[in-house]
Copies of this chain bind each other. A is one copy, B any other.
Amino acid sequence: MLGKKRRIAVMAEGSFTPMDAKTALGVLRYRTSEVVAVIDSGRAGRTCDDCVGVGGDIPVVAGLEAAAAYDPDSLLLGIAPQGGTLPESWRRVVAEALLRGWDVLSGLHVFLADDPELSALARAKGCSIHDVRRPPAARPIAARRAASSDALIVLTVGSDCNVGKMTTALEVHAELQGRGVRSAFVATGQTGIFVADHGAAIDAVPGDFVAGAVEKLVLDAAREADVVLVEGQGAIHHPAYSGVALGLMHGACPEAMILCHQSGRTHMKLSDAGPAPRLRSLSEIIRDNERAAGWLRPAPVLALSINTMMLDDLDARRAIDNAQQLTGLPTVDPVRFGADTVATELMRRLDERKRRASNE
C-alpha cells in the first residue's frame, strides 16, 4: 500500500534479476515514476532496464547511502524471500532506513511493525512501517457468494508460481478500461497491493479464512464494475501453494479463467534444491483448473497468457503461436504484445451475458 505519491528506493540486494526480484519488477513496471533508485551492490552503476528490462534509466546503486543521493522518502523491500523470515542483514538495512526518516514498505510474512526495536525507531523518527502482508482483521467465512455477483469474474491461474498472474490481470484490466469497460482489479498479493493501493495478501491469511477474504474483495470490487479481474496466487498443482490457489479460486467463484505460463518453464519452482515436480502439459493444467473451479461453479479457461520474458521477439511469437495451436485458445503475452485478443474474448463474453439477461 503506497498510500500516496512517494519517492521510493527499492531494496533488491543480491537479487535484482527478472526471476528473483518479483516485487521490485512489479513496482518498477506499474509505479515507475515513483522509484528513484534500486539497491543491489553487485549491480551498482547499471540501470534498471539493463538488469530487468523495465524501469528505464532508474539507477541501481550500492546501498542506502548511495540511494540517499536520489532523495527517497521510502524504502520498499523488493524481494520476498521464500518463507518470509527477516535475515539479520535486512534488519540492519530497515533500521538504517528508519534512522534516515524513510517510511518502510514491506511485503514480508514477518511483520516489521511488530518488532519492538524497529517500531520504536519509526516512532522516534516520525516515519511509518507498512506491512502490506498483514491479513485483514475481519474474518468472513466464504459461502460461494461471489457466484451470485452480476459482474463477470475472471481469475488468472498459473502453471506455477511467478509466471505472470498479477501482470496478466493488470494488463487485461488496463486494456478493458482503455476500451471503456467498467473493469476492476483485485490484488491478492503483496506486489499487487503495492501497485493497486488496495487488496489483501491472501497467502498470509489463516487457512480457514482464505476463501472468505477473497470473496469479500471480489464482492466489494463487483459493486462498481462489470468485469472483475482477480489476481491468482500459486497453482493448484504446486506442492506448497495449492491450498492458497484453490481457496482463492473458490472464494472468487470465477466465471472464466486465464491460464498464465512462462514459456520454457519445465519444472515447478520449489523452496530448495530437491527434485521439483515436472509441469504438466498446458491441456492437463487447463483441464484440472476447470475441474477444480467447477466443484463450485463452471469456469472455462478462455485464454492463455504466455510470459516470454526470456525469449527474443521471434521465439516469443513462436511460443505464443505454439500454445495457441496446442489449446485452440486466444493466446497473448500481454506485456510484450498487448492483451488485445483476451480483452476481445472477455468483451464477447460480456455481450453474451447481456444478451442472455435481456432475453430473460
The prevalent SS among residues of A at the interface is loop
A243 → B minimal CB distance (Å): 2
Determine how many copies of this chain the complex contains: 2
Q: Does A144 sit at the interface, judged by CB under 8 A? A: yes
Inter-chain contact A243/B248, CB cutoff 8 Å:
yes
A241 → B minimal CB distance (Å): 6
Q: Does A126 sit at the interface, judged by CB under 8 A? A: no
Inter-chain contact A236/B240, CB cutoff 8 Å:
no
The bracket for how many chain A residues form the interface is 35 or more
Given A109-B208, A205-B206, A207-B207 in contact, is the A142-B239 Cβ separation under 8 Å?
yes
A286 → B minimal CB distance (Å): 14
A74 → B minimal CB distance (Å): 25
A69 → B minimal CB distance (Å): 37
Distance, CA A288 to CA B270, complexed state (A): 25
Taking CB atoms, residues of chain B closer than 8 Å to A246 are 236, 242-243, 246-247
Taking CB atoms, residues of chain B closer than 8 Å to A208 are 84, 109, 203-204, 240-241, 244
Inter-chain contact B247/A207, CB cutoff 8 Å:
yes
Inter-chain contact A202/B207, CB cutoff 8 Å:
yes
Q: Which residue of the partner chain B has the closest CB to A296?
A: B239
Q: Which residue of the partner chain B has the closest CB to A244?
A: B207
Inter-chain contact A83/B295, CB cutoff 8 Å:
no
Taking CB atoms, residues of chain B closer than 8 Å to A296 are 237, 239, 242, 277
Distance, CA A239 to CA B206, complexed state (A): 15
- Give 28 A-B contacts (CB < 8 Å), ordered by A residue: A82-B141, A83-B140, A83-B141, A84-B208, A85-B139, A135-B206, A141-B271, A142-B240, A143-B240, A145-B274, A202-B207, A204-B208, A205-B207, A207-B207, A207-B241, A207-B247, A208-B244, A211-B241, A211-B243, A236-B292, A236-B295, A237-B295, A239-B251, A239-B296, A242-B250, A242-B295, A243-B243, A244-B247
Task: List residues of chain A with CB under 8 Å of any chain B CB.
Answer: 82-85, 109, 135, 139-145, 202-208, 210-212, 236-248, 250-251, 270-272, 274, 276-277, 288, 291-292, 295-296
Give the 7 A-B CB pairs with smallest separation, nearest first: A243-B247, A141-B271, A207-B244, A144-B239, A142-B240, A203-B208, A243-B243
